[in-house]
Structure 1
């Protein structure tokens, strides 16, 4: 079984099935040409370094809106938006991580709040 990221805030677990996206290819493809996300699914981007331009995203060929939530090195939320198809988004402050999930995830995202995560390798 592939590894997954489990994401939490102070209220508990947020998403149960976040796919880690560390490689250039995974980060480049993101959610392009995919079906809309289920309520507990998403992607967890890990960028090689912090920055604004380094963590910018495009929504070309993503045919549904998503929550895009940028986190800094400490896991603090620096930006959160409802990202819409065929647009480009750049966080206003440097980030290192990005969570892409269902739009309702934005109800749990507060700028400055710290989110934590752990990797679950799964398996027997």
Structure 2
């Protein structure tokens, strides 16, 4: 699967269930993005324990619009103040040149 953020496309892995818990934990590879999918919109908390590099987290509602975004650093915690259904995690090394805004639409490409 791929995702499109602004005009750039990234390879992405869609995660459900246990995959949502793992994300980038215990990995050193910074290739591609992870899409964490939840059953419904809710406030989502993330931890960066055992994630060894910074990443951008985009919190999306069910219409794929950005409701929150944050640069997360290793071994930190973050709770989104807005309700979201998806979290897109993009390693910092892939992010160059992107400037995110709330309300911006993200596309999932199969």
Query: Is the pair's TM-score, using the shorter chain for normalization, greater than 0.5?
Result: yes
The alignment's TM-score, normalised by the length of structure 2, stands at 0.88
Aligned counterpart in structure 2 of residue 12 of structure 1, from 7, 11, 16: 7
Based on CA coordinates, which of the two structures has the bigger radius of gyration? 1
Aligned counterpart in structure 2 of residue 62 of structure 1, from 8, 26, 51: 51
1:72 paired to 2:61: yes
Aligned counterpart in structure 2 of residue 96 of structure 1, from 85, 88, 91: 85
How far 1:48 moved relative to its partner?
1.2
Q: Distance in 2 between matches of 1:8 and 1:112?
A: 15
Residues 67 and 105, structure 1, Cα contact 8 Å, conserved in 2: no
SS of the residue corresponding to residue 81 of structure 2 reads coil
Q: Distance in 2 between matches of 1:106 and 1:25?
A: 32
Q: Distance in 2 between matches of 1:98 and 1:60?
A: 17
Structure 1 residue runs of 4 or more that deviate by more than 4 Å after TM superposition: none
- Structure 1 gap segments, 5+ residues each: 120-124
SS of the residue corresponding to residue 26 of structure 1 reads helix
What RMSD, in angstroms, separates the aligned Cα atoms of the two structures? 1.7
- Structure 2 gap segments, 5+ residues each: none
How far 1:112 moved relative to its partner?
0.9
Residues 36 and 64, structure 1, Cα contact 8 Å, conserved in 2: no
How far 1:36 moved relative to its partner?
4.0
The alignment's TM-score, normalised by the length of structure 1, stands at 0.79
Aligned length: 108
Counterpart of 2:23? Answer: 30
